[in-house]
Amino acid sequence: MPRTVQTACKQFQSALRHVWASGSSIAEVTQYLSISKDQFIRLRSVLKLELRLDRSQRAKPPRHRDPTPDEIAAACAALRAKHFEQRRNEDPGRVYQRPERDRPQYRLEGFTGGGENEVEKLLDNFCDE
């Protein structure tokens, strides 16, 4: 593709320079000119179009130091106190139950309630006195 820019018409080059200078994004430029992103990047370097803001110079939020173990322990204590306060303020009659649909359902197939050999009969009748 070394000859693409040289053979491209001056009108296309001026349109590219104008759209890029207007502050349009790369996606908007490529859509407007019906070219791919790779083609645009090559044309930008060959035509020596000015680059946008350097990403290394962008504003970065200030970094915070890591909390100390004492600060972590204090935060945990505050969360525990908040939780226990919420639990103290709850209605005492409230009962926590799992909904019926969440309870496991067991189905015993073929269970007759007693064993067929002597040991199983003794175990079944062990507490029936």
> 11-40: per-residue pLDDT in tens?
888 888 888 888 778 888 888 888 898 988
Q: pLDDT band at residue 81, thresholds of 50, 70 and 90?
A: very high
Residue 1, pLDDT score: 47
Place of tokens 């197939």: 109
- Is residue 40 within 8 Å of residue 52, measured between CB atoms? no
What are the structure tokens assigned to 62, written together?
Answer: 């200030």
Confidence check: pLDDT of 125 > 80: no
The answer to whether residue 60 is domain-embedded is no
3 — pLDDT class (breaks 50, 70, 90): low
Residue type, 22: S
pLDDT-derived band at 48, boundaries 50, 70, 90: confident
Domain boundaries, position 43: 4-51
What Rg, from alpha-carbon coordinates, does the chain have? 38
Most confident of 45-54, 67-76, 96-105: 67-76
108 pLDDT above the threshold of 70: no
**Contact at 8 Å (CB) between 108 and 114?**
no
Please check whether residue 86 lies inside any domain of the structure: no
From the number of C-beta atoms within 10 Å of its C-beta (0-12, 13-18, 19+), residue 49 rates as middle
Is 21 within a domain?
A: yes
35, part of any domain: yes
Task: Inform me whether the pLDDT recorded for 72 exceeds 60.
Answer: yes
The rounded mean pLDDT for the chain is 77
Judge whether 40 lies within some domain: yes
pLDDT for residue 47: 84
Asked if residue 124 lies in contact with residue 115, where contact means CB atoms within 8 angstroms, the answer is: yes
Could you tell me if residue 37 is inside a domain? yes
Whether 68 is in a domain gets the answer: no
Backbone angles phi, psi at 17, to 5 degrees: -60, -40
- Structurally, the chain folds into a number of domains equal to 1
pLDDT at 56 over 60: yes
Which amino acid type is present at position 108?
Answer: L
Domain-embedded: residue 80: no
Whether 73 shows a pLDDT value over 80: the answer reads: yes
